[in-house]
Amino acid sequence: MDAPIVLELQGITKRFPGIVADDHVDFDLRRGEVHALLGENGAGKSTLMNILYGLYRADEGEILVNGKRITFASARDAIANGIGMVHQHFMLIPVMTVAENIVLANEPTAAGLLLDYKAAVERVRQLSARFGLAVNPEAKVENISVGQEQRVEILKALYRGADILILDEPTAVLTPQEASELFEIINSLKAEGKSIIFISHKLNEVLEIADRITVLRRGKKVDTVLRQGATEAGLARMMVGREVLLRVDKTPAVPGDVLLEIDDLQVEDDRGLPAVRGVSFEVRAGEILGIAGVEGNGQSELVEAIAGLRKPAGGRIRLAGREAVYGNTRKMFDSGLGYIPEDRQRRGLVLEFTIAENIALHDYRLPPDSKWGWLFPGRLVARARQLIKEFDVRGGGPSTRAAALSGGNQQKLVAAREVARDPKVLVAAQPTRGLDVGAIEFLHRRLVEERDEGRAILLVSLELDEVLSLSDRILVFYEGRIAGRHGAAASEEEIGLEMLGARASEAA
Amino acid sequence: MSEGLAPQKGPLPEESAEAPPATVAARLALFQRAGGILTPLATAIVAFLIGGIVVAATGHNPYVAYWDIIKGAGLNWLAHPWQTNTAATDAYNMSQTLLQTTTLILTGLAVAFAFRCGLFNIGGQGQYFVGLFCANWVGVSFVNMTRPAHVVLGIAVAAAAGAAWAAIAGFLKATVGAHEVITTIMLNWVAYWLGQYLFVQGGPLQAAANKPLDVPISGTVAHSAQLPVFWGDPLLQGLHIGFFIAIACLVVFWVLLNRTTLGYEVKAVGFNPAAAAYGGIGVRKNYIRAMAISGAFAGLAGGLDMLGYLFKFGTSDVQASSIGFLGIAVALLGRNSALGTGLAAFLFGALLYGTTHGLQAGVINPSLAGHLTEMIQGLVVLFVGADVLVLYLWNARRRLRRRRLADEVGEAAA
């Protein structure tokens, strides 16, 4: 490739107390290419991009844009130099229209003061036509899909004159179909001469879209390779520093008794609107039932109802032969429920508690943790020490606060607590969200082991890959209903369509 | 397993829930959250310095004023603690400082305990009042009881009354979600007017003997209900054994929070109600219970004051009392910990007594002296609450400097 280099990072180093987030990282970007930045969580990708976008200042190193040395003091400077960033979490104002959001902070004005709305709509229309980003400029953001919101974010960057686009984990929130549409958009942006930095920890999509791939590991650049000749296994080895098992090894399930029985369950969301609309299924001992679906289709409400944290509007839940009672979460756990909540920081852990205290979250009131209301901190510590070892929780001892652990280790802590209580039914909601390859591998293998121990496992995940590789049976959720039921050998294509509601009417 | 995985030295910035603090201000914040000793100390010192400036502004010498407060509080007695005879001024002043400390420990704990459950109990004053009123009623009635029983009954009823009073706010929070700050403030006023009603001429607790004189004051607590005095003359407001009860309450507070399942629940709810509910902990139950325990501390404070040295109370006393509010500053300065609350209570106790009784008019204007305590109290609350502001200013200064630096570099490059 002989296109000119538009961006160069030379020897970027960023230190945080006790850690070097980026250690002399070099990176360059050519005109019209997609350069992927690949690495585990904590490898230094986000820090590097935050430096480029002017949010952090590098301790050492240079940034060159079109050969010119630049110092950024804020994101405004980065924008002025033609760099745009689409964050993982979109920053749009829901009640405003697409066009209003895009021109925000740089509005075309009429009579010097008023927003020239017509001109804004027209400019957005031109931009979206030029780059093949189909959006309705006059739609309210609150009414459009997540995939479209992402397009609005990209348009916003383009509107501000970005030639270099940073996409931070852009597929994390998308369905497979939306992801492939995004890749088409990226290709048309390339054709228009835009350069794209694509941040990801997913190997397959990096291999699909990138021209070159730079791998970071623990703050250091491992290598930059061309897509041609790169393999998933090779990239994974570079990311983790050892051989990684990408496929989950498992034998066919040997289902036993029904341990979790859901019968015509209806649950409402926080606003009192129906979220789960009459769902029936069962999970047997020794099998993993996976629930696939786009976020917000009733999965969270289903799981919370099973744990007794949310009141069903109708239907029945039977766990190990016992009827579930709303409001008595403790009884559900005592009847044999293990539950890895989808939000480990908000729900799964008391971050200010130590590891030992967190492990006692369900059992603190039972012997040997306590007797007659008297707590034995020494016994909590002893049990924590044992589980830390068994589940390979790193980054602290029993008296370390949970907040000080990395996301992967926090999740291992939650999993350790739930599995160690020897549950009959294990509900795992998004067990690997935001984790890196090593931690995912560990948790996946552990879930399969727990299945083989004879537990009934309900796996809820937004990652279709995860559902496909772990589940013995799969349910697809769409708008609170089961849009499809599949065996272990389901096609990704079919499930993807059902996730978007394409076949919802048939299945219902 | 994952032997090959590179050992993690510590959480990395982007994967950690709580990144290692990148700035001095963030480190300061972390330190504060960890309950460092430095910030409360700095808070107190700065508050005293500003108080000194005010004294100087009125044309008096702040050094002399503070030295007089120290002497007024009896702190100079600490130089020779073996001389316990309260005929000496310094020993007497110290006994009076400890009398104030007793009350402040308990009203401080009333705020601190609720705080650990994530509740802000502003109602210490009201809870103190109801404890005090009930102790007065018990102490004046039941005159035929023997001494230990009468004392114990008075204390128990006072604590129970405070607990019940505070539990109203906890109940409203748990059932209809009414914010405890609003409800406890309202309950303070209810208790205040209740006091006005009880002691006014013809009121239920106004002493019969006073009636011809038309004095709005209660009857005097019977001798059988009075707490034994262990330091000083009982007739000259000596230090009663309630002091040890308050110290014991500090221990109880620590043990409850750190060695019981009740404390585990309180802290879990205080830190993260959603996670507590997931752990099967009744969040509503804990709101009510934590408020009740808080109220028991404040009610106990009222009971000890009544049975320890006040013995009677009138409508003008109701209007003048504010020791329950001072508990907020005590708990804030003490970082809601047992030891911190004890130390802060002693500091404010010394200040309260040292400024109101120890100062000579020539050194400092008496009306200003009394307000010095309130001022320092206000400054403490302000500073503790102003953490956020201080951190913000700190960051703003850094941003400004960074921008200026960037401009210089940019110009040099151009």
How many Cβ atoms sit within 10 Å of the Cβ of residue B212?
7
Distances (CA, A) of A162 to A158, A159, B198: 5, 7, 75
- The predicted model gives A482-488 an average pLDDT of 91
Model pLDDT, residue A507: 43
Contacts of A373 in chain B (CB under 8 A): 260-262
Interface residue A242 vs chain B (CB under 8 A):
yes
Interface residue A348 vs chain B (CB under 8 A):
yes
3-state secondary structure B145-178: CCHHHHHHHHHHHHHHHHHHHHHHHHHHHHHHCC
Q: What is the per-residue pLDDT across A262-305, written as a single tens digit (0 to 9) for each?
A: 999 999 988 888 999 999 999 999 999 999 988 888 999 999 99
Model pLDDT, residue B108: 97
Interface confidence (ipTM) of the complex = 0.79
Cβ of B16 and A374 within 8 Å? no
Q: What is the per-residue pLDDT across A173-182, written as a single tens digit (0 to 9) for each?
A: 777 788 888 9
Token output for B399: 């941003």
Contacts of A377 in chain B (CB under 8 A): 258-259
Model pLDDT, residue A475: 96
Model pLDDT, residue B395: 58
Please tell me which of the candidates B10, B264, B402 has its beta carbon nearest to residue A395.
Answer: B10
Q: List Cβ neighbours of A233 (8 Å cut-off, separation of 6 or more).
A: A243, A244, A246
Q: What is the per-residue pLDDT across A345-383, written as a single tens digit (0 to 9) for each?
A: 889 999 889 999 999 999 999 999 999 999 999 999 999
Contacts of B6 in chain A (CB under 8 A): 217-218, 241
Please tell me which of the candidates B2, B19, B272 has its beta carbon nearest to residue A16.
Answer: B19
* B79 burial via Cβ count (<10 Å: 0-12, 13-18, 19+): exposed
Q: b/e for B248-270, b at 16 or more Cβ within 10 A? A: ebbebbeebbebbbbbbbbbbbb
Q: Which of A13, A71, A216, A391 to mutate: most B Cβ within 10 Å?
A: A71
Contacts of B262 in chain A (CB under 8 A): 373
Distances (CA, A) of B330 to A461, B339, B343: 49, 11, 9
Chain A, 417 to 456: residues with Cβ < 8 Å from chain B are 436, 438, 441-442
Q: How far apart are CA B346 and CA B352, in angstroms?
A: 10
Model pLDDT, residue A458: 97
Model pLDDT, residue B408: 52
Interface residue A366 vs chain B (CB under 8 A):
no
Model pLDDT, residue A299: 93
Residue of A nearest to B400 (CA): A73
Contacts of A306 in chain B (CB under 8 A): none
Q: How far apart are CA A88 and CA A86, in angstroms?
A: 7
Please tell me which of the candidates B13, B27, B264 has its beta carbon nearest to residue A19.
Answer: B13
Q: b/e for A35-56, b at 16 or more Cβ within 10 A? A: bbbbbbbbbbbbbbbbbbbbeb
Cβ of A375 and B267 within 8 Å? no
Q: Please choose, from the candidates B413, B167, B122, B153, the residue with its C-alpha nearest in 3D space to the C-alpha of residue B288.
A: B167
Residue of A nearest to B14 (CA): A42
Q: Assign residue B287 a region: left if phi > 0, alpha if psi is -120 to 50, beta otherwise?
A: alpha
Contacts of B15 in chain A (CB under 8 A): 41-42, 406-408, 436
Contacts of B11 in chain A (CB under 8 A): 19, 42, 395, 404-406
Interface residue A378 vs chain B (CB under 8 A):
no
* Tokens 């920081």 belong to residue: A345
Model pLDDT, residue A115: 77
- The predicted model gives A120-140 an average pLDDT of 88
Interface residue A21 vs chain B (CB under 8 A):
yes
Residue A441 has pLDDT above 90, yes or no: no
Contacts of B400 in chain A (CB under 8 A): none
Cβ of B403 and A74 within 8 Å? yes
The answer to whether B260 and B289 have CB atoms below 8 angstroms apart is no
Packing angle, helices B338-356 and B89-116, rounded to 10: 140
Residue A105 has pLDDT above 90, yes or no: no
The answer to whether B145 and B91 have CB atoms below 8 angstroms apart is no
Cβ of A350 and B276 within 8 Å? yes
How close A354 comes to chain B (CA, Å)?
11
Q: How far apart are CA A110 and CA A89, in angstroms?
A: 32
Q: List Cβ neighbours of B274 (8 Å cut-off, separation of 6 or more).
A: A346, A347
Q: In chain B, which residues have pLDDT < 70?
A: 1-39, 209-213, 357-370, 384-414
CA A86 to chain centroid, in Å, comes to 16
Round the average pLDDT of chain A to a whole number and report it.
Answer: 88
Cβ of B278 and A406 within 8 Å? no
Token output for A192: 């228009």
CA A497 to chain centroid, in Å, comes to 20
Cβ of A218 and B17 within 8 Å? no
Q: What is the pTM of this model?
A: 0.76
Contacts of B260 in chain A (CB under 8 A): 370, 373-375
Q: Which residue has the higher pLDDT, B140 or A113?
A: B140
Please tell me which of the candidates A43, A394, A404 has its beta carbon nearest to residue B18.
Answer: A404
Packing angle, helices B38-57 and B62-72, rounded to 10: 120
Residue of A nearest to B2 (CA): A438
Model pLDDT, residue B11: 35
Model pLDDT, residue A174: 78
Model pLDDT, residue B363: 62
Cβ of B17 and A72 within 8 Å? no
CA B161 to chain centroid, in Å, comes to 19
- Phi, psi at A44, each rounded to 5°: 110, 5
Model pLDDT, residue A461: 92
Residue A86 has pLDDT above 60, yes or no: yes
Distances (CA, A) of A22 to A43, A214, B26: 8, 14, 20
3-state secondary structure B34-73: CCCCHHHHHHHHHHHHHHHHHHHHCCCCHHHHHHHHHHHC
Residue of B nearest to A308 (CA): B278
Cβ of B16 and A349 within 8 Å? no
Model pLDDT, residue B155: 97
